[in-house]
Chains A and B, each alone.
Chain A
Amino acid sequence: DVKVTQSSRYLVKRTGEKVFLECVQDMDHENMFWYRQDPGLGLRLIYFSYDVKMKEKGDIPEGYSVSREKKERFSLILESASTNQTSMYLCASTGSGSYNSPLHFGNGTRLTVT
């Protein structure tokens, strides 16, 4: 079974802090994604990466950056946290070997910015 692990289930940070969300997958997947989930808005893509050191902006990249130094790890960085970044953050991965391969999600990080 694919395992996607997010380092924290719950985080509380103050406005202006730099925040790191970590994600690790154990299936040697090439593609990794960061989404945020908000009520009524579904899952919105922040950034994704299709290889080490490669990154692509998703639909809502503003205020975020990412890092992929190793294939199994994809980090989301909030440079200066703001209250409108309070949300559920979901990391996901999928392989490139099989064309129709679903996304596999971690359990999410509930971030509250006060």
Chain B
Amino acid sequence: DQQVKQNSPSLSVQEGRISILNCDYTNSMFDYFLWYKKYPAEGPTFLISISSIKDKNEDGRFTVFLNKSAKHLSLHIVPSQPGDSAVYFCAARRNTGNQFYFGTGTSLTVIP
């Protein structure tokens, strides 16, 4: 039972434009959400996170939005760069315990 879902397996965006990656979750007990970036043959790298008490968190070109009522979060990358081409995973953690749940990933291609 997939508690964190990324329904778009892939996304292509022109360089300089905005990339929007989406993630939905089903468990209302999740209170901490994260985005990871992964290049082939490397481990995932932490990008940005958000606590459930917030609805937005920014770090440079990356912004994460959380809509708790819709159980939806999104990652915005502005402006997109070719080096952003990678697989992006969203993840969530319950407010009890240390287990993290991951989505299936979205492969982003930024076209120069």
Contacts and interface: CB of A to CB of B under 8 A. Distances in A.
Interface of A: 4, 6, 9, 31, 33, 35, 40-45, 48, 50, 58, 90, 92, 94, 96, 99-100, 102-108, 110
A99 B45 CA distance: 19
A43 B89 contact: yes
- Which 10 pairs from chain A and chain B are nearest by CB? A105-B43, A42-B104, A43-B102, A102-B46, A107-B43, A108-B43, A42-B102, A105-B44, A31-B98, A100-B32
A48 B99 contact: yes
A92 B45 CA distance: 11
A105 B37 CA distance: 11
Contact of B34 (A4, A41, A48, A102): A102
Given A42-B105, A43-B89, A103 B99 contact: no
Nearest to B47: A102
Given A41-B104, A42-B89, A42-B104, A106 B43 contact: yes
Nearest to B107: A39
A106 B99 CA distance: 17
A90 B43 contact: yes
Contacts of A42: 6, 89, 102-105
Interface string B69-112: 00000000000000000000101000000111111110000000
Contacts of B59: none
Nearest to A45: B99
A102 B49 contact: yes
Given A31-B98, A48-B99, A103 B34 contact: yes
Given A4-B43, A43-B89, A107-B43, 18 more contacts: A6-B43, A31-B98, A42-B6, A42-B89, A42-B102, A42-B103, A42-B104, A43-B91, A44-B102, A48-B98, A58-B99, A102-B49, A103-B34, A103-B46, A105-B45, A107-B41, A107-B42, A108-B43
B63 interface: no
Interface string B1-34: 0000010010000000000000000000000101
